[in-house]
């Protein structure tokens, strides 16, 4: 079974703090994604990566950055957390687009609260 | 860019009844995905529909795809309480070919 793990289930930070969210997948997937999920807005893509050291902006990249130094690990960084970044953050991974099975597999999520 | 609309967004059903969730998408998508999310939990993949006319079934859930109508449906047969969850559809069509999700349908099955 594909396993996607995230470093924390719940996180509370203060405004202005630097926040690291880490995601690890064990299926040798090329693609990795970070989403945030908010009530009434659904899932919105923040950043994604198709390969090591490669990153692409999604729909809402402002205030975030990412790092992918190893294939299995994709980190989301909030350089200076703000209250409007309070949300559920979901990481996902998949085979490359167009592969026979490129379903995205999601991690358990990190509920981040910024005070 | 692809837009995905689901309806209804909220659905309250009685156990034993049938119902259908609709997923319309705005431009061509070569495949369509359905996911389930339980409260406080992450998304679980249910179905991947790869071609026009594709139909997949798992238990009381059946998904179908009509690429000409740009419509996918998720049909629930004889609903049970365990099916209460939020269901998302998604298609390929972001600016980089990434998935675009609908806003989800929150299903509540009552005894």
Flag whether residue B96 sits within 8 Å of chain A, measured between CB atoms.
yes
Interface test with B, best of A38, A59, A103 (most B CBs within 10 A): A103
Domain ranges of chain B: 4-110
Put simply, the answer to whether A109 touches B41 (Cβ < 8 Å) is yes
Question: What's the structural domain count of chain A?
Answer: 1
Residue A102 in this model has a pLDDT that exceeds 80 = no
Structural class in CATH, domain B4-110: mainly beta
Q: How confident is the model at residue B31 (pLDDT cuts 50, 70, 90)?
A: confident
Residues A25-35 have pLDDT tens digits of: 998 999 999 99
What's the CA gap between A73 and A64, in Å, rounded? 17
Where b means 16+ CB within 10 Å and e means fewer, A60-98 reads eeeebebbbeebbebbbebeebeeebbbbbbbbbbbebe
pLDDT of A1 reads 67
- Distance (Å, whole) CA B61 – CA B85: 13
Does the pLDDT value for residue A100 go beyond 60? no
Q: State mean pLDDT over A90-98.
A: 83
Structure tokens at B108: 């509540």
Instruction: Please report the beta strands in A1-115, taking only residues with DSSP state E, as ranges in sequence order.
Output: 4-6, 10-13, 19-25, 31-38, 42-49, 56-57, 64-70, 73-78, 87-94, 105-106, 110-114
Residue of A nearest to B105 (CA): A42
Residue A80: domain span: 4-114
Residue A25: list chain B partners with CB under 8 A.
none
Which chain A residues contact residue B97 at CB under 8 A? 97
Q: Is A32 helix (H, G, I), strand (E, B) or coil?
A: strand
Say how many CB pairs under 8 Å bridge A and B. Answer: 42
Q: What is the CATH number of the domain that holds A104?
A: 2.60.40.10
What percentage of chain A carries pLDDT values higher than 90?
76
Q: What is the pLDDT of residue B51?
A: 81
- Which of A35, A41, A44, A106 would best serve as a mutation to test chain B binding (most B beta carbons within 10 A)? A106
Chain B residues with beta carbon closer than 8 angstroms to that of A56: 96
How large is the average pLDDT for residues B75-82? 96
The predicted model gives B73-95 an average pLDDT of 91
Q: Which residues contact B74 (CB under 8 A, 6 or more apart)?
A: B20, B21, B23, B34, B46, B47, B61, B62, B63, B87, B89
Question: Between the CA of residue A111 and those of A12, A31, A36, A107, B69, what are the distances in Å?
Answer: 8, 23, 10, 12, 37
Beta carbons within 8 Å of A39's beta carbon, 6+ residues apart? none
Least confident of A50-54, B10-14, B25-29, B78-82: B25-29
Over residues A60-73, mean pLDDT: 96
Q: Which of B41, B97, B103 sits opposite A42 (nearest CB)?
A: B103
Give B46→chain A minimum CA distance, Å. Answer: 10
């Amino acid at each position: 079974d594909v396993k996607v793990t995230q470093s924390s289930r719940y996180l509370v930070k203060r405004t202005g703090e630097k926040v690291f969210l880490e995601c690890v997948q064990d299926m040798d997937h090329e693609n990795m994604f970070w989403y945030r999920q908010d009530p009434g807005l659904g899932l919105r893509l923040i950043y994604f990566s198709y390969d090591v050291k490669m990153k692409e902006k999604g729909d809402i990249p402002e205030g975030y950055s990412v790092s992918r130094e190893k294939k299995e690990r994709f980190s989301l960084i909030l350089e200076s957390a703000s209250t409007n970044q309070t949300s559920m953050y979901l990481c996902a991974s998949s085979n490359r687009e167009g592969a026979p099975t490129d379903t995205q597999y999601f991690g358990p999520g990190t509920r981040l609260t910024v005070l | 860019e692809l837009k995905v609309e689901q309806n209804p967004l909220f659905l309250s059903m009685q156990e034993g009844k049938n119902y259908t969730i609709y997923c319309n998408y705005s431009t061509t998508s070569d495949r369509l995905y359905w996911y389930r999310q339980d409260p406080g939990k992450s998304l679980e993949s249910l179905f991947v529909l790869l071609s026009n006319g594709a139909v997949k079934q798992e238990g009381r859930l059946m998904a179908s795809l009509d690429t000409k109508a740009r419509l996918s449906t998720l049909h629930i047969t004889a609903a049970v309480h365990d099916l209460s969850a939020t269901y998302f559809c998604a298609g390929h069509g972001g600016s980089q070919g990434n998935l675009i999700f609908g806003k989800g349908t929150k299903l509540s099955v009552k005894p």
